[in-house]
Amino acid sequence: MGKGVPDAEKAELNSVKDHHAAAVADMPRFLKFGRLSTMKLVLVAITSLLLASEAQPTVLKLERPNALPGGGVVELPVNGTGKYMFHGPYLTRVMLGNPPQSFDVLIDTGSILPWIGCETARIPTRLFYPASSTSVLGCSDHSCQALESARAAKCNTSNNRCAYDLGYGNGDNGTASNAVGYYISDLVHLNGLSTPARIVFGCTTSWSGQLTRGGFDGIFGLSPFGMSFISQLYSLGISGKVFTLCMHSPTGGGILAFGEALEPGLTYTPLLPSPQYYQVNLQSIAVNGQTLPIESSVFGPSPSNFTFVDSGTTLAYLADGAYEPFISAIRAATPPSELPFTGENGEICFATSTSIDSAFPSVELDFVGGAKMFLYPHNYMYYVKPSVYCIGWLRNTGRQVTLLGDIVLVDKILVHDLEKKRLGWMNYDCSQPINVTTARGKKHTNSGQSLHSITTSFTVVLVVVIYITLLT
């Protein structure tokens, strides 16, 4: 376990966490595609159970593998569902247990924990069956105690398990769904490791309500939190605290590599201290080179006004104060031949007979330090049906929080660097190889290929934010 946080600092952190909880309470997390107008299931995020990343040391004491990669780098395939214009949401395949079992999990940089559907969970996905290699975290385990102190677990004294209860609510009628489970440790088999490594992850044994239609096997939490997958690899000495993600929109492929991309042309902006998110300082938005009239306070940064990137969210959500200026600028810069209309959920749509990248304006996001992210129309518009596209940057009503999801992040190298506290990006063909450093600073070039055999059926649209509540 790491050092404790002084009482005065805890009080300050709790205040910040409460502001964050209010700011993201109703924010959607990811879409599973059919039609956007279909049923929406909102899972409300309670981020107040997290410790601030700056004050939170690594909470786990993990067993190091017998042998680490000999000059290689841990990399995983990326594959989308192919159900959307940018083929999201994006999944990867992991192998867990002994003998190894294969699972397709959501790549989620906004989620604090890795977890898998487990044992008796009655859901139509592959389930993890604990084997002789599995260890259940008991109440006295140092990892459980650390998770409890971070309010990410609750000891179940009746069976001596380190338990969690994921609570869900339907955004339309308030009905509830739940995912309940307990923490275990088991082996993960990774390309680049000569022997498997032991990690801690959630074993979800009961899913209820609309959540049973999810179609994925689990969630691959990659946030800055000390229990996330990247943090555990770092604690094991397998990788540095940096990873590279590239999501390919034409095919849904890509790569997830635990190391730093070395490609020339990367742009960086500082990461801000955050308990859960890769939070950045967005300062302005420009459309066709013209900066929009948005008050600087809208983007913050402050506990309630901030911007973050999140691969677990398929669309983007603009701070309330930025939405109208953005929509007005897009409409003003669009030729009259591209006929606008209001979609079934109030989104702005266009009937167009031409390529959206040639008919619609470019967008530029300007970050602190002069870093710029240049975006094409397909980075803010999504396909609905032939000749119909809608703007995929939605309004975060009543909140000054901006979330940049997959629609913005596709076709880019994204470097999440917690060691140097920065986020890097550059436009890139994610089907091509990427030069990445290893944990030892050696250069490695990945194959640039995805695992195209990953298939997941998404037949309903779910807008989800995952949160953890304690057992009572």
Per-10-residue mean pLDDT, the chain, length 472: 34 37 43 28 31 35 41 82 65 94 91 86 79 90 88 90 69 53 95 90 79 73 93 93 94 92 96 93 98 96 96 92 97 91 90 90 97 97 92 95 96 97 97 82 55 32 33 40
Tell me which amino acid residue 237 is: G
Domain boundary among 221, 236, 257: 257
Q: 245 and 127 in one domain?
A: yes
Q: Whole-model pTM?
A: 0.81
Give the angle 60-62-65 at the CA atoms, nearest 5°.
160
Tell me which amino acid residue 469 is: T
Sequence length of the chain is 472
Q: 202 and 173 in one domain?
A: yes
The answer to whether 224 and 234 have CB atoms below 8 angstroms apart is no
Cα torsion angle, 330, 336, 342, 344, sign: negative
- Active site includes 310? yes
d(Cα 287, Cα 327) in Å, to the nearest integer? 10
d(Cα 114, Cα 286) in Å, to the nearest integer? 37
Q: 116 and 57 in one domain?
A: yes
pLDDT of residue 300: 94
Q: 251 and 142 in one domain?
A: yes
Q: Where are the alpha helices (DSSP H) in 399-463?
A: 406-409
The answer to whether 99 and 108 have CB atoms below 8 angstroms apart is no
Q: 153 and 124 in one domain?
A: yes
CB neighbour class for 449 (10 Å; exposed up to 12, middle 13-18, buried from 19): middle
d(Cα 345, Cα 331) in Å, to the nearest integer? 18
Q: Examine residue 114 and say whether the peptide bond preceding it is cis (omega within 30 degrees of 0).
A: no
Q: 235 and 308 in one domain?
A: no
pLDDT of residue 41: 27
The strands making up 290-291's β-sheet, listed across from edge to edge, are: 290-291, 282-287, 363-367, 372-375
pLDDT of residue 446: 62
Tell me which amino acid residue 43 is: L
The answer to whether 251 and 270 have CB atoms below 8 angstroms apart is no
The answer to whether 234 and 240 have CB atoms below 8 angstroms apart is yes
The answer to whether 216 and 79 have CB atoms below 8 angstroms apart is no
Helix (H) or strand (E) holding 328: helix 320-332
Question: CA of 27: how far to CAs of 107, 305, 402, in Å?
Answer: 18, 13, 10
Give the angle 235-238-242 at the CA atoms, nearest 5°.
80
Domain boundary among 191, 222, 257: 257
Q: For residue 351, tell me if it sits in a domain.
A: yes
The maximal CA–CA distance of the chain, rounded, in angstroms, is: 67
Q: For residue 311, tell me if it sits in a domain.
A: yes
Q: For residue 74, tell me if it sits in a domain.
A: yes
The answer to whether 343 and 37 have CB atoms below 8 angstroms apart is yes
d(Cα 294, Cα 83) in Å, to the nearest integer? 34
- Active site includes 186? no
Catalytic residue among 141, 186, 217, 310: 310
Domain boundary among 228, 257, 286: 257
Q: 251 and 272 in one domain?
A: no
For position 371, which CATH number holds? 2.40.70.10
Ranges of beta strands (E only) in 120-209 are 135-136, 154-156, 161-169, 176-189, 197-207
Give the angle 247-198-205 at the CA atoms, nearest 5°.
80
Q: 410 and 320 in one domain?
A: yes
d(Cα 226, Cα 36) in Å, to the nearest integer? 34
pLDDT of residue 454: 35
Give the residue carrying structure tokens 């397909």.
378
Q: 109 and 60 in one domain?
A: yes
Give CA torsion, residues 429, 430, 431, 432, to 10 deg.
70
Please give the residue range of the domain that contains residue 280: 267-429
Q: For residue 369, tell me if it sits in a domain.
A: yes
Catalytic residue among 108, 141, 186, 406: 108
pLDDT of residue 445: 64
Q: For residue 131, tell me if it sits in a domain.
A: yes
Q: 273 and 239 in one domain?
A: no
pLDDT of residue 466: 34
Q: For residue 179, tell me if it sits in a domain.
A: yes
- 420 phi, psi to nearest 5 deg: -95, 0
Q: 211 and 120 in one domain?
A: yes
Q: For residue 177, tell me if it sits in a domain.
A: yes
- Look at residues 430, 97, 407 and name the one whose alpha carbon lies nearest to residue 257: 430
Q: For residue 464, tell me if it sits in a domain.
A: no
d(Cα 328, Cα 294) in Å, to the nearest integer? 12
Q: How many domains does the chain have?
A: 2
Q: 243 and 166 in one domain?
A: yes
